[in-house]
Amino acid sequence: MVDSREISSQVLSDIFYGKSFDRALLLNKEYSKLDQRDKSLVSLLVLTSLRRNGQIDNVLSHFIKKPLKKNFFIRYLLKISVAQILYLDFPEYSTVHNAVEISKKYKSEKFTNAILRNICKNKKKFIKEIPAIINIPDWIKKDLEKFLEAKDLLEIANQISLEPYIDINIKNENFNQYNWEKILKGKKVFENIIRIKNKSNIEDLPFFQDGKWWVQGISSSLPVFLIKKIFKKNSKNKTVLDVGSAPGGKSFQLIDFGFKVSSIEISKKRIATLNSNLERLKLNTKIINEDFLNIDFKEKFDCILIDAPCSGSGLMQKKPEMLVVKKDISSLVKKQKKMLLKAANLVKDGGYIIYCVCSMLSAEGENQIISFLNNQKCFSSKNHFTDILEFGEVLKSNTFLVTPNSFQKKGGVDGFFIGCLIKNPN
């Protein structure tokens, strides 16, 4: 059987060549043969290497002055090994030994041994002197520097280098029935959300199969929390269109709060996931498997929740592959703009568009709202964020930005942007 560290290096290589983390694992035949313990090890090694990529590259640059053209695989093996030595505190001898044994297949054992031995000798120096800030890629960092201070960027860099927690959202009808902190071995952090340490098999946790809860990050839950606040007097008679609804977290919240929900999703595969989750949770919604931009609606809605496709720059901690592959967001920005314009014609007078993206980039967040308001004079931006200030800050445009260093004492949150737009009656 292929060593799990070699598999980790293969998976890491595939990610650098454009595959997502999940797809790289799925397509690796050797990974599928591993037991759960070794699969968890592969995930740990790859994700740590991605989260610390900038620091690891800096370390390797002290010893590798030219690109490894022939045995490019060795570079990924070295990255995995440096992650073990510097950031996971694995035993140095076994880490070096394993890497050297693997490198023999590529006739690079002396090269590998020399570099890793030198890194071990300078371990304390590298850990102390190489800052986490260089893990944030320039295409994200340059945008954040426009409105965040250096200390905030460093806090974000330190936060995204850590393994994220898992947030579990408990159904309203079940929340007071049990001691969920004890059952799930976690802490209540907001509303009905219990935060737990990362688990490999979520399905094995208590009451998962009974449909009493679903996994949903705090940041992702905030837009629906705001909708509940906005329509607190009469939620049962209010219609909400959840755009880009799968895998379903926001729709589940909306249904749980008593709204009349329609969930639209363009992807058939994601619709299948949504249906599966709804069945487990014993919840119902009107599902529309169409392109939001092309479908003709005969009705108008009290609220349209747009979870727009985006760069995902707020998910650097959960999906660190974006730290190593630059995204062209121009097509995404155009689509986001079209979605806002479409929603403007579908919301009732006095109704709301809640626009959100799991991104911290201004082009996908605040700039979108400013541009929209400049062209849609019947809309205005409303500050409904007083109850969630612990998760981020209100921007000049009366919109809200969550950054990963927010809520840091309790484990941080995903980066997220939210705008609340009311359609003023003519």
Answer yes or no: do 291 and 194 share one domain. Answer: no
Residue 143 lies in a domain: no
Sign of CA dihedral 141, 310, 25, 105: negative
Burial class (CB in 10 A: 0-12, 13-18, 19+), 189: middle
Domain encompassing residue 119: 4-130
Answer yes or no: do 189 and 322 share one domain. Answer: no
Answer yes or no: are the C-beta atoms of 367 and 401 closer than 8 Å. no
Q: Determine the residue type at 293.
A: L
Burial class (CB in 10 A: 0-12, 13-18, 19+), 354: buried
pLDDT at 70 over 70: no
Which of 71-75, 102-106, 414-418 ranks highest by mean pLDDT?
414-418
Answer yes or no: do 362 and 225 share one domain. Answer: yes
Residue 111 tokens, joined: 């090269």
Residue 273 tokens, joined: 């996931």
Q: Rg of the Cα trace of the chain?
A: 23
Domain CATH number, residue 354: 3.40.50.150
Per-residue pLDDT band at 65 (split at 50, 70, 90):
confident
Q: Which residue has the tokens 């000049």?
A: 396
CA distance 184 to 174: 14
The string of DSSP letters for 177-224 reads TS-HHHHHT-EEEETTEEEE---S-GGGSTTTTTTSEEE--HHHHHHH
Could you say which of 214, 246, 275 is where a domain stops?
214
Answer yes or no: do 45 and 58 share one domain. Answer: yes
CA distance 126 to 6: 24
Average pLDDT over every residue of 235-258: 94
What are the pLDDT digits (tens) for 370-398? 999 999 999 999 999 999 999 999 999 99
Average pLDDT over every residue of 163-175: 96
pLDDT at 278 over 90: yes
Could you say which of 130, 155, 174 is where a domain stops?
130
* Confidence at residue 53, expressed as pLDDT on a 0 to 100 scale: 97
CA distance 211 to 262: 21
CA distance 162 to 393: 23
Answer yes or no: do 304 and 382 share one domain. Answer: yes
Per-residue pLDDT band at 92 (split at 50, 70, 90):
very high
What are the pLDDT digits (tens) for 192-244? 999 999 877 899 999 999 999 999 999 999 999 999 999 987 777 899 999 99
Answer yes or no: do 268 and 228 share one domain. Answer: yes
Answer yes or no: are the C-beta atoms of 317 and 255 closer than 8 Å. no
Answer yes or no: do 320 and 335 share one domain. Answer: yes
Backbone φ and ψ of 197, nearest 5°: -70, 155
Average pLDDT over every residue of 13-30: 94
* Confidence at residue 68, expressed as pLDDT on a 0 to 100 scale: 72
Answer yes or no: do 20 and 121 share one domain. Answer: yes
Answer yes or no: do 289 and 350 share one domain. Answer: yes
Residue 137 lies in a domain: no
Domain CATH number, residue 51: 1.10.940.10
Residue 254 lies in a domain: yes
Residue 303 lies in a domain: yes
* Share above pLDDT 70 across residues of the chain, in percent, rounded to a whole number: 99
Answer yes or no: do 109 and 170 share one domain. Answer: no
Measured between alpha carbons, how far apart are the two ends of the chain, in Å?
70
Cβ neighbours around 7 below 10 Å, total: 26
pLDDT at 426 over 90: no
Residue 377 tokens, joined: 């004079």
Could you say which of 214, 238, 254 is where a domain stops?
214
pLDDT at 327 over 90: no
Residue 221 lies in a domain: yes
Structural domains counted in the chain: 3
356: β partners: 307, 418
Residue 82 lies in a domain: yes
* Confidence at residue 168, expressed as pLDDT on a 0 to 100 scale: 98
CA distance 357 to 332: 11
Cβ neighbours around 23 below 10 Å, total: 14
Answer yes or no: do 261 and 400 share one domain. Answer: yes
Residue 349 lies in a domain: yes
Q: Which residue has the tokens 């290497």?
A: 49
Residue 153 lies in a domain: no
Per-residue pLDDT band at 69 (split at 50, 70, 90):
low
Answer yes or no: do 202 and 319 share one domain. Answer: no
Write the CB contacts of 318 (distance below 8 Å, at least 6 apart in sequence).
164, 217, 414
Average pLDDT over every residue of 72-94: 95
Q: Where are the beta strands (DSSP E) in 271-405?
A: 286-288, 301-307, 347-357, 379-381, 393-394, 400-402
Q: Which residue has the tokens 């936060």?
A: 159
Average pLDDT of the chain? Answer: 94
